[in-house]
Structure 1
Amino acid sequence: MLIAHISDTHITNESAFKAYAYDLIVNEINTRPFDLVIHTGDVTNNGLREEYEHASYLLKKIEKPLVVVPGNHDARNVGYELFERYIGPLFGVYEWEYGVVIWVDSTIPDLSDGRIGGYKFRWLKAKLEEYSHKRIKIAAAHHHLVPLPDTGRERNVLFNAGDVLDLLLSHDVNLYLCGHKHVPNVYRIEDLVIANAGCTSCRKTRKGDVNSYNIIKINGDGRVKVVIRRVTGEEVRREYKPIKPKIFVPKGRRLLRMVQIAESNVSDRVYFRRKILENAIRAINEKYRPDIVIHCGDIVEKGIERYYDMAVEFYEKVHAEKLFVPGHNDITYLGYDLFREHFGEPEPVEVGDFVFIPILSAQYETPIGVVGRIGQKILKNFLQDFSEKFRVVVMHHNIVPIPRSRELGFLEDAGNVLKIVTDDETELVLTGHGGNAHAVRVERTPIINAGSVSWELHRNPFGNSFNLIDVYEDMIVVFEIQATWGSRKLLGMWKLKGDLPWK
């Protein structure tokens, strides 16, 4: 199946629309053997009737089967009703012999943000189950699922991106197509390829980029090839083969064991579960005996001295090496100074062939975090300086969305940070924001989020928990450990690349 993926045409009579770029890309599409064209939204610029009339005419220039998804600009001015009149259905299914495309409206009227919630989510789930027999499953919507680089302040991701991502992964979807941010980008998350299209014919590009579209070839065996093709003729190519096998058994010796915790939120409030934290620390010391314990932030519920004194009493009982990074709760009030007085300045910790690199993201009096341009340079330098070791980046804010959490772009520059660690093939990233345990591998970098170890207000059906991470010679295995009863479930298992310098 050969697909032309276009997006964000922003058709209008104003100067925002570049008609020559649209015609150039459409002519290329018509002269190539594409089986299908998918437009992932923002067909128009303001959702106005005259724009839809113009767009309806221009879309007819595409001489291939066409699927069109609504975007946030199309939904402006009650444009979603005009979309159905001039373009087509807001939801739909396109199928062929061995595959299916399921597209869904992710727009919220008059907002740039997106959501596939409520009945939309149920509809998408039902369609994925209905077409579960298809070897190739493609989902398409306008809004992006994971943060993108070079987009400025991270916003406008799907509010329930974590739930949608989890749904697609659990139903073995091969490909997710989207647009929205005018940046072409490709990631693989586990076996799901996420392809963002740049803008086909809008003047608003990022970093002086030019207009582009994606050429996607997907085979019946699940192999996906994506070519980002710019109007200048420049091409960027990515190719992915299915992961086989998907379940592994460690063959080498265990090199390191770490425990990852977050959101203990030590306080004297009723929501702090003192006995559960005590039980977790006892199990860590007596049963799991890790080489290092990493706390990914929100150690205390408020940054006051009494809570910090209480936290020290708990964590000085941990026998292993420890590394703490502050969360947003930790630096409220006097917490910025108290954290350093009680837990020290976060610095890289080396344990044999492993190095743990703390990155600060918390900001005063807000759950919104930022690494910043200087912080990104520090991260790059650390990754380069320790390139001969197994590098574990430790931070508070999550850089991929997690289920059961309203995604508000909690890390403003998550797209750039995610790009840094994946481009560098960082061996492991640990985060601790959102109150729910979650683990995925983006490209070749596993990213593990810890749930809350002892705070009642969490989002985890498994309850309060911490993560147990074992690194073997050939793989990483992570279990979530229920902090009360000690039961466990597998969060992730990934083979390690064979050319690591530390092996």
Structure 2
Amino acid sequence: MIKIAHISDTHITSGEAYKGYAYDLIANEINTLDYNLVIHTGDVTNDGLREEYERASYELKKIQKPLIVLPGNHDARNVGYELFQKYIGPLNGIYEWKDLVIIWTDSTIPDLNDGRIGGYKFRWLKEKLEEYSHKKFKIVASHHHLVPLPDTGRERNVLFNAGDVLELLLKHEVNLYLCGHKHVPNIYSVEGLVVANSGCTSCRKTRKGDVNSYNMIKIKDNGKISVTIKRVTEDIHKRDFTVKKQRIFIPRKKRLFRIIQISESNVSDRIYFREKVLKNAIKAINERYKPDLVVHCGDIVEVGIERYYKKAYALWEKIKGKKIIVPGHNDITYLGYELFREYFGEPEIIENENFTFIPIISAQYETPIGVVGRIGQKILREHLKKYEDTFRVIIMHHNITPIPKSREIGFLEDGGNVLKILTDEKANLVLTGHGGNSLGMKIEQTPIVNAGSISWELHRNPFGNSFNLIDIYEDMIAAFEIQATWGSRKLLGIWKIKTEMPWD
């Protein structure tokens, strides 16, 4: 077994931001306990200044264990990334220990709070994951977070290319991603990847009056990983995980419901709107797939004007059966807020025997940035509790998980709190449609499926224009992406239903 202390965001400085007594308490505890290794995921200093690095070099020596230290966005201020290498160590590196490899990489952008593992660093990370693919346990560490975090205010500082990084880590079966940055301790299971954020070790800036903390990580030989949040007040929160084994599930029980998920049709009279592709997809949906419900996750028109809505409504009416649509940010530009209601009505909850479909509005006027809001979050939680005896499907426009090949700037500004509600209340399925690319991913017990663009040429999907086919069986959910022109199919995800369902 290997035991790792994960600290972060010490913010060492001569000013009031630094709580030296908290750092000493945690450093002494680490020295006393049987840790094999300590990983510091950045923001060692507060402003990247020489005197801060000089003090940090002294303070870090108090930790009498092997120590890996990463740069954070505060360390990169004032050309501090050069001082980091002089006083602390390399910005990127590899650490091997028995069956374990730790790969750390610099995610900072000088003088910005945002992060990125792009260009040559992304290629380097990919090469190292391939080189060490034989290792039983793989840890990647960086400063910035991969998925939205709760209780952090406005979401903005996720990695710009978080979708690509997350896709890379999952593809190479990385077991653990360690990060800091937002001063909030949090643990998520993302498919087979454990994402552990450390709170701040010795900074005064905590969230919601929280106290300083660090994470204790145990990696056992039998494949189990435990992550424990240890606060200086002795408040402890522990999670245990088993390393996920690759398996192929085959539906063996009855299919109960079929959903077609569409997004970003962006109906208009511009050349970027591929009307023939949309008509071809509608024909296939009606004649071949015959769904129980068609869901459109927003941006049904490119711009909120009358003639686009009239055209979109005529096309939408060609789809047979039950339908539900939530507005995207394009839909409510100009007069779109009123036109959406006029043509498609207010999105309402649909109950269908054992299923409940809950629309959540995230689009805002004249901006691609979305928000559910504190009242919306309360309503979301209430709906999930009210219908907890059914299979609950949440439908919204903005993506919650980062999308590959898309620049992630926190499109849902309260995405961290929304994701926390969805996972806490164990939503059975979440459907989103922003970002121009498809994705299927399970966070905790909640599968989240994003739809690419069905008929807009300016998309980010190498598979082309597409829509999603989601089949819900008694024992599992299967999500496929369907190429809108040729009908070829690609698996997005298959997830077992582990909780008790109303049909059990």
TM-score w.r.t. length of structure 1 = 0.99
CA distance in 2, matches of 1:361, 1:246: 35
CA distance in 2, matches of 1:221, 1:355: 40
Q: In structure 2, do the counterparts of structure 1 residues 180 and 375 end up closer, same or farther at CA, with 3 Å as the change threshold?
A: same
Contact 2:295–2:325, Cα closer than 8 Å, also in 1: yes
CA distance in 2, matches of 1:136, 1:112: 30
CA distance in 2, matches of 1:500, 1:101: 40
Per-residue deviation, residues 154-204 of structure 1 (Å, max 9, x unmatched): 011100000000000000000000000000000000000000000000000
Q: For the aligned residues, what is the CA RMSD?
A: 0.7
Name 1:5's counterpart in structure 2.
Answer: 6
1:104 aligns with 2:105: yes
CA distance in 2, matches of 1:242, 1:189: 12
CA distance in 2, matches of 1:246, 1:152: 38
Name 1:362's counterpart in structure 2.
Answer: 363
Shift of 1:245: 5.2
Most deviating of 17-26 and 235-244: 235-244
Name 2:318's counterpart in structure 1.
Answer: 317
1:202 aligns with 2:177: no
Contact 2:384–2:427, Cα closer than 8 Å, also in 1: yes
Q: Which runs of 5+ in 1 are unaligned?
A: none
Per-residue deviation, residues 137-166 of structure 1 (Å, max 9, x unmatched): 000000000000000000111000000000
Report matched runs for 1:41-60 at 5 Å: 41-60=42-61
CA distance in 1, matches of 2:161, 2:21: 37
Per-residue deviation, residues 280-319 of structure 1 (Å, max 9, x unmatched): 0000000000000000000000001100110111110111
CA distance in 2, matches of 1:244, 1:106: 29
Contact 1:135–1:220, Cα closer than 8 Å, also in 2: no
CA distance in 1, matches of 2:193, 2:447: 14
Q: In structure 2, do the counterparts of structure 1 residues 412 and 200 end up closer, same or farther at CA, with 3 Å as the change threshold?
A: same
Contact 1:303–1:329, Cα closer than 8 Å, also in 2: yes
Name 2:480's counterpart in structure 1.
Answer: 479
Contact 2:474–2:503, Cα closer than 8 Å, also in 1: no
Name 1:31's counterpart in structure 2.
Answer: 32
Shift of 1:385: 1.0
Per-residue deviation, residues 1-40 of structure 1 (Å, max 9, x unmatched): 1100000000001011000000000000001110110000
Name 2:225's counterpart in structure 1.
Answer: 224
Give the SS at the match of 2:113.
Answer: strand
CA distance in 2, matches of 1:196, 1:452: 32
Contact 1:388–1:502, Cα closer than 8 Å, also in 2: no
Residue type matched to 1:211 in 2? Answer: N
Shift of 1:244: 4.1
CA distance in 1, matches of 2:501, 2:226: 26
Residue type matched to 2:436 in 1? Answer: G
Residue type matched to 1:24 in 2? Answer: L
**What's the % identity of the aligned pairs?**
72
Report matched runs for 1:155-234 at 5 Å: 155-234=156-235
Q: Which runs of 5+ in 2 are unaligned?
A: none
Give the SS at the match of 2:392.
Answer: strand
Residue type matched to 1:170 in 2? Answer: K
Contact 2:354–2:502, Cα closer than 8 Å, also in 1: no
Contact 1:36–1:65, Cα closer than 8 Å, also in 2: yes
Give the SS at the match of 1:172.
Answer: coil
Give the SS at the match of 2:114.
Answer: strand
Per-residue deviation, residues 263-284 of structure 1 (Å, max 9, x unmatched): 0000100000000000000000
Report matched runs for 1:256-267 at 5 Å: 256-267=257-268
Contact 1:174–1:222, Cα closer than 8 Å, also in 2: no
Per-residue deviation, residues 361-407 of structure 1 (Å, max 9, x unmatched): 00000000000000001101111111111000000000010100000
Report matched runs for 1:283-298 at 5 Å: 283-298=284-299
Name 1:61's counterpart in structure 2.
Answer: 62
Shift of 1:502: 4.3
Name 1:337's counterpart in structure 2.
Answer: 338
CA distance in 2, matches of 1:415, 1:238: 19
Report matched runs for 1:435-474 at 5 Å: 435-474=436-475
Name 2:391's counterpart in structure 1.
Answer: 390
Shift of 1:246: 2.4
Shift of 1:492: 0.3
Contact 1:135–1:221, Cα closer than 8 Å, also in 2: no
CA distance in 2, matches of 1:498, 1:197: 29
Aligned length, in residue pairs: 503
Residue type matched to 1:292 in 2? Answer: L
CA distance in 2, matches of 1:350, 1:104: 47
